[in-house]
Amino acid sequence: PRNASKIVPLPLHAGLPTDEQLRVFETAERGTRKVIIATNIAEASVTIDGVKFVVDCGFVKIRTFNPTTALASLAIIPVSIASATQRAGRAGRTSAGICYRLYTETSMRSLPRTTPPEIMRTDMTTPILQLKSLGIDDLMKFEWVTGPPAESVLRALEGLFAAGMIGEDGRLTPVGEKVAECPLEVHISRMLFSSKEFKCGEEILTIAAMSSVQDVFLISDGAAGALAELERRKFTAEEGDHLTLLNAFNAFAKYGKSSGWCRAHALSFRALSRAVSIRAQLKKYMQRFGLPIESCEGDAKRLRRCLVSGYWKNGARWVADGTYRSVKGDTVLHVHPNSVLFTRKPRSGWVIFHEMEETKKTQIRILTEIEPDWLLEYGHKYFDKRTGESHAPSPPPWAQVSRRKRTRKLFTTTPPFNSHRMSWTTFRITQLHLKPLQTGSRL
């Protein structure tokens, strides 16, 4: 109708920049009606004044974890009665309101009473490491509030043993005791301790912090997204996403950690500011354990080998159809659209990735190109369930030839180098306006 109020749709989810999140709290202008499309962040985390009506779809998207495949996925399931009650409570917080549920009363009576506890649907590696650091070694007799699946516990113990965090007696090793004190995932903590061997503590510290935040690059749809993609290419490193994140952080620090600079370069000021805070905290842990914070002096190979020491379980090889196959389980993997390697084949054909998640298809995020030999050199071994023997995965067909011939074969099958991508060392010199690195120099 001509006299109807104008609708102003506003999104609300955790990935939005702070200024866009705050728009939902602003009072609607006269003659307009504010409509907020929210995830379950609005269920209990925030209270928005003036909400009179709530529309409950009856579903929720939660993260689940499959211990057999080590695959995290976002599953859409019916809400619980407790969640439905919380959603109804969003209407009428400050005045009378109405909740419209898009399901029948009979369907509501069949809903579960509560949402499954997170311990039932999460990776148990870090929780078990923390329990062992508290002296709780006998997990079979531990009185859980809600017991986790046995498969999750067994797979977590296998992973900790393979990573050298626990010994054959089930107790923490000296390295495991130190890693347990770091507020990070086990593989990232392991990477920090390996930085002493590779002399790249400064860069690994930054990568660990940047991997802990989400949505560093703000790339939307349409023309604005195309411009944002051009800005991201200024930071792109041909080696992959880890070094691209490192470039973005170094540039952010060099140009004064400015919010205006972030907006001009399609970067999230909130994510980068949080990364600065996380890096400062992790730096204290490294100093506490006597880990040197030294630069790799632009040696991207040394830095990537250090990444493999932590991500050795997350290896994948490129196949001709443009997808990847995981080293463990031979799972079909698709590169996340936001990755630097989304439209490019890695020169070596092998990558490591930060995490794997399943939506409509299995995707891997934050990739870096590696040499396959590195997987065999740094912790890449598995245990046969039947014999108990440890063994390394079978090498590729060309693994028996000389290194010179192997290198020639890799590079002759590589597509032409894309002009908008540059190596990490080249980026340091051109984009950050640094002089060529000399002995003892740093960013």
pLDDT at 275 over 90: yes
pLDDT at 293 over 60: yes
Residue 111 sits in the same domain as residue 132? no
Is the Cβ–Cβ distance between 361 and 334 less than 8 Å? yes
> Rounded distance, CA 63 to CA 118, Å?
9
Q: Which two tokens stand for residue 356?
A: 């794997």
Q: Which two tokens stand for residue 47?
A: 């209270």
Please give the pLDDT value at position 351: 93
Residue 114 sits in the same domain as residue 155? no
Please check whether residue 424 lies inside any domain of the structure: no
Please check whether residue 326 lies inside any domain of the structure: yes
How many domains does one find in the chain? 3
Residue 30 sits in the same domain as residue 100? yes
Average pLDDT of the chain is 80
Give the tens place of pLDDT for each residue, 365-414. Answer: 999 999 988 887 765 454 444 555 554 444 333 333 343 433 333 322 22
Which residue segment(s) compose the domain that 160 sits in?
123-137+148-181
**319-329: average pLDDT:** 87
The SS3 assignment for 397 reads helix
Please check whether residue 253 lies inside any domain of the structure: no
pLDDT at 346 over 50: yes
Q: Which segments of 327-432 are extended strands (E)?
A: 332-335, 350-358, 362-370, 382-383, 390-391
Neighbours of 3 (CB within 10 A): 5
Of 77, 74, 102, the C-alpha closest to 87 is 102
Higher-confidence position of 5 and 437? 5
Range of weakest confidence among 97-111, 226-240, 298-312 = 226-240
Alpha helices (H) along 255-346:
259-264, 269-288, 300-311
Is residue 436 very low, low, confident or very high in pLDDT (cuts 50, 70, 90)?
Answer: very low
DSSP assignment of 197-228: HHT-HHHHHHHHHHHTS---B---SHHHHHHH
Give me the percent of the chain exceeding a pLDDT of 70. 84
Domain of 111, CATH number, reads 3.40.50.300
Please give the pLDDT value at position 66: 83
Is the Cβ–Cβ distance between 193 and 292 less than 8 Å? no
Residue 15 sits in the same domain as residue 98? yes
Residue found by looking up tokens 């995020």 in the block: 365
Please give the pLDDT value at position 101: 93
Highest mean pLDDT (candidates 5-14, 40-49, 163-172, 241-250)? 241-250
| 65 residue type, one letter | F
**140-152: average pLDDT:** 88
Range of weakest confidence among 158-162, 361-365, 425-429 = 425-429
Residue 108 sits in the same domain as residue 160? no
Give the tens place of pLDDT for each residue, 197-238. Answer: 899 999 999 999 999 888 888 877 677 767 877 888 888 888
Residue 102 sits in the same domain as residue 10? yes
**311-325: average pLDDT:** 89
